[in-house]
Amino acid sequence: MAVCEGEGVLRLKRETMAIPMLRAAMISHSQSQPLIHSISAIYETAKRRKRVVFSSSSSSELNPVIRSEVSFCVGTCLIPHPKKVNTGGEDAFFVSNYNGGVIAVADGVSGWAEEDVDPSLFPRELLANASNFVGDEEVNYDPQILIRKAHAATFSTGSATVIVAMLEKNGTLKIANVGDCGLRLIRNGHVVFSTSPQEHYFDCPFQLSSERVGQTYLDAAVCNVELIQGDTIVMGSDGLFDNVFDHEIVPTIVRYKDVAEAAKALANLASSHAMDSNFDSPYSLEARSRGFEPPLWKKILGMKLTGGKLDDITVIVGQIVSS
């Protein structure tokens, strides 16, 4: 089995793609209960902290001003890996209307299947626990502490990457990320903020694990971003960002007023690219930059390494609205 480090603990997330199963859901900010989703089931401090505030030297569109209370209006879509349709895949997510809104995605590491461990159990339990702790006094609406408490309460064997974003009603979005799930902020038709993936090396991301060797909440990349009404947040597993470029996300989003439809469209686009062996995807570009080469027959024909990455695809689209 291929492992990153720690003797069978940190694992490659190598995935390989076909008939997608689609499911979308609309969760408005007025919903009273959190939603935890893995398509097959529904389940009931700061290191490297930085604050992202757009400076006055930037264009006016990047300067948040005093504003009314805001919250999320959210649409979601999950398409499992074609070979995992029957089990629902190994991604999980949850959405809560607590405070201004909470969104999270976790991606189970598939390498555990080689040891007869269901890779979906760890991320599902992790986010179920996170949902339970959202309003916890000790968490104090801090996503990094939420990850700590959720991880400590998770007893399933496995590992997962995870990203959590918690919106204050004053417009401050608090983000904590371990691994290669990601988030984009779209304002006035432009991506103005994005998270960066954390990895040991190519295709081996940081991950929370059931084992001792692994990352913890202290390894999370943490930041705050100031949002304004009309902003759009796109959160997803690497199945989205490995297959869809940022310059494709914006025109896809702006075509839809309904966030559920926008999420579905992004997931469909990622699925289409993932199954296209000729598409020069973000994943194939990164692979080439790391020195990976195409199969011998492609090299003989003078072809380069191309193609999307077959994977579970989770998309959450959150529009910032006045409460």
Domain containing residue 105: 70-275+308-322
Classify the phi-psi angles of 153: left when phi > 0, otherwise alpha if psi is within -120 to 50, otherwise beta: alpha
Phi, psi of 215 (to 5 degrees): -85, 160
Q: Is residue 126 part of a domain?
A: yes
Q: Is residue 220 part of a domain?
A: yes
Phi, psi of 157 (to 5 degrees): -80, 140
Match 């991301």 to its residue by tokens.
205
Query: How does pLDDT run across 169-228, given as a tens digit for each residue?
Result: 999 999 999 999 999 999 999 999 999 999 999 999 999 999 987 899 999 999 999 999
Among the listed residues 200, 205, 136, 195, the one whose alpha carbon sits nearest the alpha carbon of residue 165: 195
| Segment-wise mean pLDDT, segments of 10 residues, the chain, 323 residues | 36 38 33 46 33 35 64 98 96 97 97 95 98 97 98 98 98 98 97 97 94 91 97 98 98 96 98 95 90 66 77 98 90
Q: Is residue 20 part of a domain?
A: no
Q: Is residue 32 part of a domain?
A: no
Listed in sequence order, the residues at least 6 apart from 203 whose beta carbon sits closer than 8 Å to its beta carbon are 12, 13, 14
Q: Can you give the pLDDT at residue 295?
A: 67
On average, the pLDDT of the chain sits at 83
Q: Can you give the pLDDT at residue 56?
A: 28
Distance (Å, rounded) from C-alpha 105 to C-alpha 316?
8
Distance (Å, rounded) from C-alpha 221 to C-alpha 214?
15
Q: Is residue 25 part of a domain?
A: no
Distance (Å, rounded) from C-alpha 173 to C-alpha 170?
9
Q: Can you give the pLDDT at residue 13?
A: 55
Among the listed residues 127, 231, 250, the one whose alpha carbon sits nearest the alpha carbon of residue 181: 127
- Residue 121 sits in a domain of what CATH number? 3.60.40.10
Q: Is residue 63 part of a domain?
A: no
Domain count within the chain: 1
- The whole model's pTM is what? 0.81
CA geometry: angle 265, 271, 275, nearest 5 deg: 145
Q: Is residue 160 part of a domain?
A: yes
Q: Is residue 250 part of a domain?
A: yes
